[in-house]
Amino acid sequence: MSNKKENHKKNNNRKRIAIISVHSDPSAKLGGHYTGGQNVYVSELSKSLGKMGWAVDIFTRLTRKRRKMVRNYGKNVNIIYIKAGPRYSIARDKLFEKLPEFLGNFLAYKEENKLNYSMVHGNYYLGGWVAAQIKRILNIPMVETFHSLGHIRHRTLEKFEKEIDVEQSEKRLRAEKEIMNTTDRIIATSPPEKRDIMRYYDFDLEDKIKIIPCGVNLKRFRKINFENARNYINNFSRKDKIIIYVGRIEWRKGIEIIIQAFPLVLKKLYALRKNLKIMVIGGKIGKKGDKSDKQEINRLKDITKELGIEEKVLFLGRKDQKKLRYYYSSSNIFITPPYYEPFGMTTLEAMRCGVPVIASNVGGLSYVVQNRKTGLLFPPGNHRILANKIVELFTNKKLKNKLIKNAEEMVKENYGWKKVSAEIAKLYQELL
């Protein structure tokens, strides 16, 4: 620990940011039930800020018995693991009651290491609640990125007649309201998110909200030669026509919509029937897999059996970020069909890898995907319209090539993490 203290003291006079990401460890493997866009956001933002000269400490919950408390995570960046509850993963909805312990141990760590923070940046409502208390106690500026909103989740569950934990939902809404009243700035990742915040929480928040999108790692995600990509993944022949989904395995992601659309696609594209397949990337499966992921995959497999397409749908589990570009590049169409989605970072990854995109017309996806210019949009939950969009991309080569070209240019110009992080750093600087 002494070396870490010396390293902290050495950089203590620099602009030091505390990034709070309670349930999303940026170093965690992606594709699990609780690992996804927020992990990537915190990871890429922190590393970019570190390269710009900011000193960044990421505070996340300690979930392993033998984990070191401090981990160097790049130039000027540390991950600090804070004890809050048991040292193993617990459901996100059960973490709110652990936040006072997290806050207390954060403050103790700060005092022990004689650290001064210029800014605190909360993530999600859990990290935001902690950040709001830190702002009050230390009297420093605060920025919040919500990643998703309780009101939108609640409304979506109601719309699609899913069970709602009313007590948990109300607790989250109260916390989000407190965060919005406390923070100095809210980063909305898209104009639809800004509208949702103002509509469901408070119109007077407009001056606090700054729209800064999520980004994509332009070096990691890039187009790979199709044949090389197919050879690398070694799951399909060169003749196969692959529809790919990449993301978390949970109900709100709408994976069953792709499956339900598939029989209609097979009827309309009869000549391609033997070669059409769906590749689902995501989910912690295997002997030590996540129980929730396994349950959802089993539910989805039951749907494939009912429709008689079980051999057409492959569930490949989560894949390392460095390998994902091969899976994207070997695919013919990328589909992201969620019932609600704050942004949709995998969509940018697919676009960057030269895959035509079809997405639900919801949330941030309606902002990232410009219909018939950078991708195709369809109404959430409507598998019949989705089937028509899939058929159109397989039969209209001119449209497909236009979407790919426009999307690649858009991502390169607007969504690199270097540019996104510079906008956030500028926001920090304005507050300081």
CATH number at residue 161: 3.40.50.2000
Is residue 334 included in any domain, yes or no?
yes
Shared domain check, 299 and 204: no
Same domain for 235 and 206: no
Bridge partners for 282 per DSSP = 317
Q: Do 192 and 275 lie in a common domain?
A: no
Name the token pair of 23. Answer: 């349930």
Do the domain assignments include residue 221?
no
Q: Are residues 203 and 232 in the same domain?
A: no
Are 141 and 432 in contact, with CB atoms under 8 Å apart?
yes
pLDDT at position 13 is 44
Helix count and strand count (H, E) for the chain: 16, 14
The pLDDT assigned to 9 comes to: 47
How are beta strands 357-360 and 77-82 bridged, if at all? unpaired
Same domain (yes/no): 63, 204: yes
User: What's the number of CA atoms in the CB half-sphere (13 Å) around residue 180?
Assistant: 24
327, 421: one domain? no
Say which residues have a Cβ less than 8 Å from residue 53's Cβ, sequence separation at least 6.
14, 15, 76
DSSP state of 371: B
DSSP structural state of residue 82: E
Q: How many beta carbons lie within 10 A of that of residue 379, not counting itself?
A: 11
Query: 303 and 272: one domain?
Result: yes
Nearest one of 79, 126, 121 to 101, comparing CA atoms: 126
In a domain, residue 220? The reply is no
- CA 200/CA 208 separation, integer angstroms: 15
Range of the domain at 119: 2-215+416-431
pLDDT tens by residue, the chain, 432 residues: 444 554 454 444 458 999 999 998 888 776 555 567 889 999 999 999 999 999 999 999 999 876 789 999 999 999 999 999 998 888 888 899 999 999 999 999 999 999 999 999 999 999 999 999 999 999 999 999 999 999 998 888 887 767 778 888 899 999 999 999 999 999 999 999 999 999 999 878 899 999 999 999 999 999 999 999 999 988 788 899 999 999 989 898 999 999 999 999 999 999 999 999 999 999 887 777 778 888 999 999 999 999 999 999 999 998 988 899 999 999 999 999 999 998 899 999 999 999 999 999 999 999 999 999 999 999 999 999 999 999 999 999 999 999 999 999 999 999 999 999 999 999 999 999
Task: Estimate the share of the chain in helix, then strand, then coil, as percent rounded to the nearest 5.
Answer: 50, 15, 35
**Do 231 and 154 lie in a common domain?**
no
pTM: 0.91
The total number of structural domains in the chain stands at: 2
Identify the CA nearest to 124 among candidates 99, 100, 89, 106: 99
The whole-number pLDDT of residue 269 equals: 96
**Sheet order of strands, 209-211 included:** 70-72, 77-82, 55-61, 16-20, 119-123, 142-145, 185-188, 209-211
pLDDT at 365: 96
> Residue 421: what pLDDT?
97
Q: Give the position of tokens 């050495």.
A: 10
**Cα–Cα dist 377/9, whole Å:** 51
What's the confidence (pLDDT) of residue 31? 57
Cα separation of 331 and 348, whole Å?
Answer: 15
Q: What is the reported pLDDT for 66?
A: 64
Quote the pLDDT of residue 32.
Answer: 59
Strand, coil or helix: what is 139? coil
